[in-house]
Chains A and B, each alone.
Chain A
Amino acid sequence: MTEAILSIDGLKKQFGGVVATDNVTLDVAAGDLQCIIGPNGAGKSTFFALLCGLHELDGGGIVFKGKDITRMLPSRRVREGLGLTFQTNRVFGSLSVRQNLEIPLASIRGERGILAEDRYRMALERFDLDRQDETQAANIPHHKRQWLEIAMVLAGGPDLLLLDEPTAGMAPEETGNTAAVLRDLNRTGLTILVVEHDMAFVRKIARRVTVLHQGRVFADGTIDEVTARQDVRDIYLGRR
C-alpha cells in the first residue's frame, strides 16, 4: 500500500454563517493523480485554499510528507513541496514571460533536484514556453497563461501539485495537451491533485475521484464507480 503523501483529517471551515468545509477526511497516496469534483459551491476551491494555509482552519489537521503542516505559513508549505495554481489564473501580468519564469527560479530552495529540473523542462517544451520570451504575460493567449502558471509552479520543484481548474476556458485540443502533460508528469512520480469541472478531462487523467458536496466528502472511487452512482448524479442535478 503506497504511503499517503497528504493526510487530511476532519477539516472544518466556516465563513460567517456558511459552512464551507464540513469534516473532510481524505488521503492522497504518493504518486497518485486524483481529481476533486462536485457541483458549484461544493467547497472545492476553499479546500485547496485550506491546504495551502490561505485561511485559518476551524478544526482538523493536515499532514504532508509526514509533517504536520496545519499551522504552517503558506510560503513555508510551498518550500516543503506544495504547489498551487489558482482558479482565476494568476501570473504576473505586467511582467514578461521571461520575468515570470525567472521569479520562481530565484526561489530560496536553491538547486532543484534532477527530477524537478526534468519535469520543469518537459513542461516548458510541451507547453511551448520560451524562457527568453519578452512578451507581456497579459498579452499571451489565455491557455498559454494557464500553462505558464503551471510551469512557474513546477519551477519550484513541488512534490504535490494542486491544480484548480487548469483547463478552464481551454479549447479541446489544448485540454488534450494539458491532460497528456499531466499524465506524463505523474508518471515521473509527481503527485497531482486537480479540481475540475470538465468530465471529459477528468476521465482522461484521473485514477481516483473524490466528490465534494456542501463541504463534505460525498463519494470516492474510480471515475466509473463514481459516475455510475445515482446519488452523485442527483447532486449534480440539484436533487439533493
Chain B
Amino acid sequence: MHIYLPIAEMSIPVESVFILGGFVGFVSGIFGVGGGFLTTPLLIFMGVPSAIAVGTQGCQLIAAGLSGVIAYWRRSQVDFMIATIMLTGGFIGTIIGVFFFQFIRYIGQIDLIISLLYIVFLGTIGSMMLFESLISSVKKKTMREEFNRMKSPTLISKLPYKMRFPRSKLYVSAFVPGGIGMLSGFLVSTMGVGGGFLLVPAMIYILGMPPLLVAGTSLLQIIYTSAFSTIMHAYINGSVDVLLAVFLILGGVIGAQIGVRASRRITGAKARVILALLVLGVCVRLGMQLFIIPSEPFVMVEK
C-alpha cells in the first residue's frame, strides 16, 4: 500500500517505512542506542530527499528518547542541570548545523559531505566500540582501570566558567557539557543522528559523569536538541514530513519492544561486538560508494 508523503511529494510503500522503523527500533531496543545512524542512510536509499530524511529523523529521536528518559527518570538517573547546560550548547550547534546543511545543498555537494560525515563518525565510533568490546571480553578489569586513569585530563580543568553540578558531584567548566551539547546539536541537524554513541563516552570520559546518570541525561539532551532541530528544519528548510515521521515512529516503537525482549538473550560484550560490526558495516558500505564506485554516476537535482 502506497502513501503519498505531503512534504516530500513522493509516493512510498508504507510497509517499507514501517519495516525500516521497526528494524531501527529493534536495534535500539537490543543495544540501547538510538539507531538514527541507520535510519537516515536507509531513508535516503529508499529515495527520500536527504533534507527530508534528516529533518524528519529528529522526530523519531524525540519519541525514542522520551520513552527512554521516562524509564531513567523513574529511577532518578537523570541530571537535569547538566542536561540544561548541554542544551544551550545544543541550540547553538543545531543552528550552525541547519545553516551548514543549507550551504552544502546550495553548492550541490550534499551526498558527498553527508557521506563523509557519516564515514568519519561511524568509523571512529565503530572502531572504538569494536576495540573496547573485544578487549573487555578478554581482559575485563584492566581495561576499566585504564579508562579510569584517562578521566578528566588536565587541559579540561583549566577551562573557565566552572559550575557545580550537585547530582553528578562535579565541579567543571560549563564549556565542557556545553561543547559536547553543541557537537550533538550539529550531528542531529546535519545527519539526523542522535549522537548517543558520541555523547555517552564523552560524558563519561571527558566530563567525568557517573556512568549511571549518563544514559538518561544524554537522552534528555537529545530530546531537546531534536525538538529544536525539528523546528529549525521546518521553518528554514520546510523539510519535516509528519506522515513519514508517524509511520517511522510507529514501526520504531513496536520494533523496540521486540528488541528489548530479545536483549535479554544477548548480553554484554557479545552484543557490543555485534553492534560495533553493524556500525562499521554501514560505514564500509558508505565508504565504498564514496571511494570505490558510486552506484549512480549521475545525480539529478531539481529547484
- Do the two chains bind? no
Report which A residues bind B (CB closer than 8 A). none
Report which B residues bind A (CB closer than 8 A). none
